[in-house]
Structure 1
């Protein structure tokens, strides 16, 4: 068992952000959450992480409501990578990754040998061993995102949630980062804007429009010309020419508002 959202709804400022969303994650798979700006992607990830509480419905972790579980217990299981992170404190890459061990340590307790092993392993998984002593403020955007993933991996989670991790990255870093994420032996949810990246790296997709689920399934089942026109108001040509026969989308222009 893993994370599950059952008929979750959430409002903000008098506006309904999510409306009766269901999501049952499949262990060990990468699920992409798609939708236009304002469709509820980030809100859904925060509900799954237990950062927000649903107004209606429930999020469960191993069958138990996540809001009833101790926050430290949830943090040991579920790691979150936000869109961007920054700090004014002078930290090295290793310092940032060590923050992932906080849920496993008592307050003010020094790092244990197990903590340091987890940090070294996370740095290696993210390809950052050679950057361990670099200062955070000297890193590029792509390197900072890798450090945030390493911090999340140092938590030794079973579930990893990433909110638009490719924002502001160049194409090479987008591909490198998502290849890293897809190869991890974790149950992963990633909110994305780029449909072709979602088709390349996700096993399953959930598509939101105005806070409601409009499609779910494999990339080949979900990413159709009709769905792209309905959700994004864009004309597209979809062919099975991506890696492994996955769909590839060529955008042809916008459609008038519905």
Structure 2
């Protein structure tokens, strides 16, 4: 059962409020899409949920206890994160990278246990990386590196998984492959995304941030309306429905003389599974 809950959390950086009174309760097994323009506070909210950052006001709780009381190590046994970018100068194999997910479960300098080995093996298998286990991390493609980071997170055996724009810099096929993988995982997921069509296809619920504040929450069909997209993103769009989810088609700005545009554009994602 997921019981990670942010209650009216606030985070300030350099005198500027970057997250302003946001509340989010995770429901077991759901995939929540975190949307909003650049600088809206998505990454900061994910770090608050993970306990990496502490709120200036409000509280994040896990099983009813504030994360500061739960402690970083215990939180990491339950909540796993996948950042936008991951790199290392150290020469590591894919298995080495995935094994990093077992650190919260081990004492310092202790050798891996049978449970550690089993968790790493299962994470590699679930992400389709068993055949790459002995390969150098530096030889992986961008999509494979993202899968390895998800495998590392799964090795933590979390109940909650937080992903910060994991599809950035991936081509369309790898975006879809990655989100199909995430949607199949037996965890509760919060995923920050830019592509509204991907969010509509793969998320059960959306939370939209603008200037640090939550401005909408609901199903993709409830949230992704033409008026709301224009309000938050400043662009015009047409919204239709296909296979049970909204499909967004963005409209070009009107010509300087006020005449209507003659073409529309969609986001990079296809409109169906």
- TM-score grouping bracket, smaller chain normalisation: over 0.9
Distance, in Å, in 1 between the alignment partners of 2:135 and 2:214 is 43
CA distance in 1, matches of 2:252, 2:149: 35
Whole-Å separation in 1 of the counterparts to 2:101 and 2:83: 14
SS of the aligned residue for 1:234 comes to: coil
Matched with 1:75 is: 76
Aligned to 1:251: 250
What's the CA shift for 1:245?
Answer: 1.8
RMSD, aligned CA: 0.9
User: How far apart are residue 14 of structure 1 and its match?
Assistant: 1.3
TM-score (norm 2): 0.91
Where 2:161 maps in the other structure, the secondary structure is: strand
1:89 and 1:56 map into 2 onto residues whose CA distance is 38
Q: Paired residue for 2:150? A: 149
SS at match of 2:91: coil
- The DSSP-based 3-state class of the residue aligned with 2:250 is strand
Partner of 1:84: 85
Alignment of 1:35-184 (within 5 A): 35-184=36-185
Matched, 1:16 2:17: yes
| DSSP 3-state at the match of 1:237 | strand
Whole-angstrom distance in 2 between the partners of 1:154 and 1:103: 10
SS of residue matched to 2:236: strand
Matched residues, number: 253
CA deviation vs aligned residue, 1:120-146 (integer Å, no higher than 9, x gap): 000011111111111000000000000
Matches of 1:184 and 1:2, distance apart in 2: 17
Q: Is the 8 A contact 1:233 1:254 kept in 2?
A: no
In 2, Cα distance between the equivalents of 1:11 and 1:253? 36
Which deviations, in whole Å up to 9, do the C-alpha atoms of 1:157-202 show, x marking residues without a partner? Answer: 0000000000110000000000100111101000000000000000
List runs of 5+ in structure 1 lacking aligned partners: none
**Do the aligned partners of 1:30 and 1:190 also contact (CA within 8 Å) in 2?**
yes
Q: Which runs of 4+ in 1 moved over 3 A?
A: none
1:254 CA drift (Å): 4.7
What displacement does 1:32 show?
0.5
Q: CA deviation at 1:70?
A: 2.0
- In 2, Cα distance between equivalents of 1:121 and 1:216: 34
Instruction: Quote how far apart the aligned CAs of 1:105 are.
Output: 0.5
